[in-house]
Amino acid sequence: MDSWIDRIDKYIWDSLKGPTTSETVAILQSEGRLLNQSAVAPRYDVRHSDQEVSGSLAVQVPAGESVDHRCESGGHESEGYGSEDYASCDRNLRHLDLVVQEKLNGILADSGPLEPILAHLLAARGKFFRPRMVISSAYACIPYIRDKKRCVRCFMSSLECKRISNPMDCSNVDETAFESGSQIAFDAGSVGTSEKTAEGTSDTPFGDPDFDDEMIDMITDVAAAFEMVHLASLVHDDIIDGSSQRRGLPTIHLAWGIHSAVLAGDFLFSEANKAALKYAGLGIASCLTDAVGLMCRGEVAQDSRFYDPGVNVSDYFYQTGRKTAALIAAACKAGAMAARAPAEVQDCLWRFGIKVGTAFQIVDDILDIVSDEEFLGKPVFSDLRRGILTLPLIYAMEAEMGSVILECLATKAVPEHKIPELRMKLVSGGHVKRAGRVAFTLLDSAVQDLSGLPDSPGRTILRHIADQLAQRARRASIDLSVHQ
Where are the alpha helices (H) located in 110-180, listed in sequence order? 115-123, 129-140, 142-146
Averaged pLDDT, 31-47: 32
* Residue 174, burial from CB neighbour count under 10 angstroms (0-12, 13-18, 19+): exposed
Determine the Cα–Cα distance for residues 458 and 461; give it in Å rounded to an integer: 5
User: Considering the chain, what percentage of its residues have pLDDT values greater than 90?
Assistant: 53
pLDDT score at 303: 94
Q: Would the pLDDT of 194 be above 60?
A: no
Domain residues of the chain, as ranges? 3-148+187-194+208-479
pLDDT score at 232: 96
Q: Would the pLDDT of 357 be above 80?
A: yes
pLDDT score at 356: 97
Determine the Cα–Cα distance for residues 153 and 180; give it in Å rounded to an integer: 8
Pick the CATH number of 3-148+187-194+208-479 from 1.10.600.10, 1.10.1060.10, 3.30.565.10, 3.40.50.300: 1.10.600.10
Averaged pLDDT, 427-455: 93
Averaged pLDDT, 247-265: 93
Determine the Cα–Cα distance for residues 465 and 449; give it in Å rounded to an integer: 14
Q: Would the pLDDT of 200 be above 50?
A: no
Averaged pLDDT, 384-397: 96
3-state class (DSSP) for residue 421? helix
- The contacts of residue 335 (CB under 8 Å, 6+ apart) are 133, 134, 135, 136, 137, 138, 139, 140, 141, 219, 222, 349
Sign for the CA dihedral angle at 369, 373, 376, 380 comes to positive
163 vs 58, higher pLDDT: 163
Question: What distance, in Å, lies between the first and last C-alpha atoms of the chain?
Answer: 41
Sign for the CA dihedral angle at 31, 33, 36, 41 comes to negative
Residues in the chain: 484
pLDDT band at 207 (very low <50, low <70, confident <90, very high): low
pLDDT score at 44: 25
Helix (H) or strand (E) holding 249: strand 249-250
For 445-462, write each residue's pLDDT tens digit.
Answer: 999 999 888 888 889 999
For 314-337, write each residue's pLDDT tens digit.
Answer: 999 999 999 999 999 999 999 999
Q: Would the pLDDT of 126 be above 70?
A: yes
